């Protein structure tokens, strides 16, 4: 098959006059969309290279006249970005491990073990999706301050973030739908061979779910990295705060406020990890979404 046949029109249609017009129209639309999406990132990067006076000039001046590369090195060293990245990675990686563990086990239980009242449990998860997260922020915070029954405070502890992050209602629904699409014959054959439910989950279900797990990992990483309000409340100790919270404080210091160019440089450095993750793993994201769409 010709490479052009895999697009919005066949090679034969593209040779016609109307086909060329449609092709050019779609190309222009996609080019404008790409520029629109990339512009904030380019503007943030180039603004971090400007001087403190140049950045306040009127008009749309994207590229600086004299790039100040030292802005990025000064920001990195002054605000100890290496430690901030480490704090954020601890929060994100720990939250992802807890989230994927709870999500896959809960989805597997609901999809294959068929517990009593499983449908009502799933409805309960779906109901939480209709409630804005800000609505239960105060109850969540009071629970973290003093966990019921055990009476332990999780403030200034990464566990105070990992536990709330571990429950993802949409992820449970997505994984449950995917697990139900796996042929039952595979599970029946494993049961005949004497495999336990946990063995089936580890040896059959998870290997077949790599694509959808990649989607949940990428989406979860982006969501947890940019989270601000909950880490702000749970981690008042600046030594363990993630980069999103420290940006809020370092760019709003009343004594020596950072210039706008320094703010843009710090913000661009903060968005680099999720940006690189999205670019590097975009193929996995596309494959996982297509598999979920076909099998779900």
Q: What is the pLDDT of residues 51-83, one digit of tens each?
A: 878 887 767 778 888 888 999 998 899 889 999
Residues 243 and 88 sit within 8 Å (Cβ to Cβ) = yes
Same domain for 53 and 138? Answer: no
Q: What is the pLDDT of residues 112-165, one digit of tens each?
A: 888 888 889 989 888 888 888 888 899 999 999 999 888 899 999 999 999 999
Residue with tokens 């009343």: 254
Average pLDDT, the chain: 86
Q: What percent of the chain has pLDDT over 90?
A: 38
Count up the domains in the chain and report the number.
2
pLDDT (average), residues 221-243: 93
Q: Which pTM was predicted? A: 0.84
Q: φ and ψ at 147, to 5 degrees?
A: -65, 125
Same domain for 7 and 45? Answer: yes
Q: φ and ψ at 260, to 5 degrees?
A: -65, -35
5 vs 94, higher pLDDT: 94
Which residue among 16, 43, 73 closes a domain? 73
Which residue among 12, 45, 73 closes a domain? 73
178: pLDDT strictly greater than 50: yes
Residue 243 belongs to a domain with what CATH number?
1.10.3720.10
> Which range of residues forms the domain containing residue 262?
79-295
Same domain for 236 and 139? Answer: yes
Same domain for 175 and 158? Answer: yes
Same domain for 187 and 270? Answer: yes
pLDDT in the model for residue 53 = 81
């Amino acid at each position: 098959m010709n490479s052009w046949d895999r697009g919005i029109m066949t090679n034969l249609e593209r040779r016609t006059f109307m086909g060329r017009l449609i092709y050019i129209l779609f190309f222009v639309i996609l080019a404008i969309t790409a520029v629109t999406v990339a512009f904030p990132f380019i503007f943030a990067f180039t603004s971090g290279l400007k001087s403190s006076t140049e950045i306040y000039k009127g008009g749309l001046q994207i590229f600086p006249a004299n790039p100040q590369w030292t802005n990025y090195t000064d920001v990195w060293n002054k605000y100890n970005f290496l430690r901030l990245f480490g704090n954020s990675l601890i929060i994100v990686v720990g939250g992802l491990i807890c989230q994927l563990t709870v999500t896959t086990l809960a989805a597997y239980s609901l999809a294959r073990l068929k517990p009593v009242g499983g449908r009502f449990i799933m409805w309960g998860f779906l109901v939480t999706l209709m409630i804005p997260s800000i609505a239960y922020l105060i109850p969540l915070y009071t629970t973290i301050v003093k966990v019921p029954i055990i009476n332990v405070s999780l403030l200034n502890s990464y566990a105070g973030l990992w536990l709330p992050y571990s429950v993802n209602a949409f992820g449970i629904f997505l994984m449950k739908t995917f697990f139900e699409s796996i042929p039952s014959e595979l599970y029946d054959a494993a049961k005949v061979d004497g495999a336990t439910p946990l063995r089936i989950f580890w040896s059959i279900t998870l290997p077949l779910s790599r694509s959808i797990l990649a989607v949940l990992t990428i989406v979860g990483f982006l969501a947890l990295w940019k989270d601000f309000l909950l880490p702000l409340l749970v981690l008042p100790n600046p030594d363990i705060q993630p980069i999103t919270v420290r940006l809020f404080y370092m760019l709003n210091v009343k004594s020596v406020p950072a210039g706008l160019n320094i703010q843009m440089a710090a913000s661009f450095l903060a968005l680099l990890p999720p940006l690189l993750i999205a670019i590097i793993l975009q193929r996995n994201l596309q494959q996982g979404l297509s598999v979920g769409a076909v099998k779900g």
